[in-house]
Structure 1
Amino acid sequence: MSKIHIKLLSENALAHMKKNIDVITKKIQENEDNKWIYSEFPEKMFIEKKYEIDDFKIIDNPESKDKEIDLTNSITIFNSLKVLPRYVLTDERFWLWLHLEKFYNEVKSMMTVKGTSTVLDHWMHKQGTRRGLMFGVLSRCYYRVAFTVDESLTNKYELTKWVIENPERFRNLTWRSFSSEEHLVRGIIKGEKKAIDENPSLEKNDIYPEIAKYVSIIGSVRLLDVISEEDIAEMICSKTKELLA
């Protein structure tokens, strides 16, 4: 497989995009391909970096409706990008290169651009680093796998598949400060899944915000980062069963 250098959107281009967001949004809505970006944005638009990755493709998935394709794309994105340092993976300019140049058509298809809020929230991470990454069209695909892949399982993507089937199982956790601890997020999801698997007919989405609040309460009296994955899984399994009842 061929190697490619990653790119970042330049600071000048990012500033232009923010200043002209209404125009940019209209261009995205009206153009089926991305040829317009090379005349709309100031040069140099993309800055090539030293890091190399295996070139890769993703499958078109209109409105991300096909969960199996969503899973496949998420795994592909994660495995292709996991070699990159965290500072790149949290930089909106990196994801904007993927959105605007490498996967423009796929990103447009995955989420219809209804207005400027779609571009700001899901292309540009307006919500800030933590929430923005979990809102991003492609970045959320990466982080759903990063937080759920489990080498100890026969199918290491078992938890990934579970959260993609119902995003509420994962979404509320990612907005909390403890979401930077991958073992905690993975343990929480394991606990949720165990309880739900035992009582599938009782699942309701309103339990998931309560679980996130419960973890925050635990964090007010204990250091979350020293709680093991197994211990938090047990605690969350018990709490989930309580909420289901």
Structure 2
Amino acid sequence: MTDFVLVAGAWLGAWAWDEVADGLRAAGHRAHPLTLSGLAEKQGVPAGQDTHVRDIVDAVERLEARDVVLVGHSYAGIPVGQAAERIGGRLARVVFVDANVPVGGESFLSGWPSDGVRRSIEENGGVWPPPDATEFAGQDLTDERIARILARASPHPGASLTEPAALDRPLAELPATYVKCLLDGEEPLPAAAEALKSERWELVTLDTGHWPMFSRPGELVRVLRESVRTG
């Protein structure tokens, strides 16, 4: 039995993992969806990058578990990757789901044209507002599913997007699986592609969009279960 700590990306909370968590529990594992500070039911809590890393480390410490798989989707790959090296021997594996991965000294917004996002954060009191439905087009999601996501999405704390990551050792040294969702581009982001050169990293592809916990939850459960066997 493995403990999966599930952390969703920007605008999302623990609720995003409902179907995946149910599938993992049905397979005999323990699933622990986590809402990061400032999001969903934790809206209004001040949060930067270090806050989100601490959220994840604290969640693992409360579990008192030895075989922990940290799962980070999209933005959450950055705090999850940092937390993975901080939980030491408790880590069984880290799984990045179509995610950004941390690079020491760089933020989520580093390395891509982010002026629009930075301006939006400044204009909206320090948060990044959820997008409209067009952001989810072409990502294997029904109109009904998109409407449900947007109904529960919450503004994302801007400081967590602009503050840099801190790593004590190369990310490629960790046992990891990178899940690339092909409708969001066929190639991993450059930092992930570099880490995938490591023998400790595995690449898995899913023929779906950037939010597989909504579009293909059963397939994502299968990948997560197989990551344990790989580890």
Answer yes or no: same fold by TM over 0.5.
no
TM-score, normalization by structure 2: 0.23
Larger helix proportion, structure 1 or 2? 1
Larger strand proportion, structure 1 or 2? 2
Larger radius of gyration: 1
Tell me which of the two structures has the higher relative contact order, counting C-alpha pairs closer than 8 angstroms and 6 or more residues apart: 2
TM-score, normalization by structure 1: 0.22
